[in-house]
Amino acid sequence: MSEHDLHERYEFLLGWLQRRRAHIAAAVMRLGRLRLSEHVRTAAIVARGEEVWLYFQPEFCERINNAELAGVLTHEALHFVLRHQQRTASLTAQRDRYYFRLACEAVVNDLILASFPEMKLPGDPVTGPWLVGRDTSQMAAEEVMQLLGHQRVRHGRKLDDRLANAETLDDHSPWEADPRDAALNTSASAARPRAEPLSTMADWTDETSALVATLLMNLSPNDPCFGTVARGIRRRVPPAPNCRKSLAQFLEDMATGIASYDAVWTTPNRKLLALYPRVVLPSYPPRYEADILMAIDASGSVPARFLSVALAFARQRRPQSRVRLISFDTACYEASAQEGSVRGGGGTRVQAVEEYIQAELPAYPDLVFLLTDGQTPSPCPRHPERWIWLLPPWGSTGAVPRGSRTEYFACTDLP
């Protein structure tokens, strides 16, 4: 296959993706520069700064049909918008990177199979049921990796042997390519001696993250992968674990800190009057109960352990504050801390929380705790200074409005 043939087929599939509401995939594909390369096994997407490159192995393109190529294009686009290249590069251990790449693969493939039935995935793709025994389309790759870690404890070498020969649909090796690798520094084609080498492109930067945020913000709200579909799926929440930085303690401190007290000066107890007849002692009753709204992103990208800590906090009674609990994906749902589950499972749209406040609450909350990964169009809250965004280690602050506070928390035992 020549690059001209690939470009013609590519342009046809861009329109095909748009007609099937795969707007994210079409936008990333238009953003990327196309290359044929013998240095990738099937296909690959790499980014550096604001440049995005798409590499395809010629024979691989020739042997798959259009429905399969559309699936591959969407697969690559989701790797990009979910920042899998950046998240993989942050891991230091080679084995961790290998398992994380499989986790990324399962999440993306399950999402495509659930959202776009017209698309096909060539070969024998890695899916959640094959990898961890369950669908992973609503999970973060870190959660899938933790499930793999638990299975490794139980099955040991047997699991390693089963996964040793697992092949991803596309080639992830350029994500961590070494610039000193002479094999990758050769041109992509003898006819194009100045073609961009893979190794010099695999470098995710802050500019790349900003590009992803801008791209998502400007896309149509009808793409299932963008996160605009309210599904209301109930998600089980396990018991709360200990965190490296205590999320539970942080919530408690913030709730206590916003309480307002009046000093009331009174005489001591009558039994003490004989000893201290002239002493007047102060008491500090709360001036009013503070209203706290806890909004949980239940789209599937927030660790379940975060959710369990939030529910444990909401269950506790505090004389100086009232806690209201909701969950959301692109719509908001009333939640009960006693049920041990929250509704969600669609996309992520934090603006829904502000809409809920305006429509359902008699007054603006004194404090809004927002548990999310930050992958959302930026909201426009009336009082951003009252919002605290509670993020997992991979969370993004790109959508956080000016004036809001952000805090990162990492759990020792993600499921």
Q: What is the bridge-based pairing of β-strands 405-408 and 332-334?
A: unpaired
Helix (H) or strand (E) holding 214: helix 206-217
Whole-Å CA distances, 71 to 13, 33, 56, 120: 10, 18, 14, 5
What's the DSSP call for residue 21? T
**Residue 216's closest CA among 28, 70, 364, 9?**
28
pTM above the 0.75 mark? Answer: no
Instruction: Give 79-124 pLDDT, tens digit per residue.
Output: 998 888 888 888 888 888 888 999 999 999 999 998 888 899 998 9
pLDDT at site 275: 55
pLDDT at site 258: 66
Instruction: Give 137-190 pLDDT, tens digit per residue.
Output: 888 888 888 888 888 888 878 888 888 888 899 988 887 644 333 333 333 333
pLDDT at site 264: 57
Instruction: Give 349-396 pLDDT, tens digit per residue.
Output: 899 999 999 999 999 999 999 999 888 888 999 999 999 999 887 788
pLDDT at site 32: 82
The percent of the chain in helix, strand and coil, each rounded to the nearest 5, is 40, 20, 45
Predicted confidence (pLDDT) at residue 228 exceeds the cutoff of 50: no
Which structural domains are found in the chain, ordered by start?
Answer: 3-217 (no CATH), 233-408 (3.40.50)
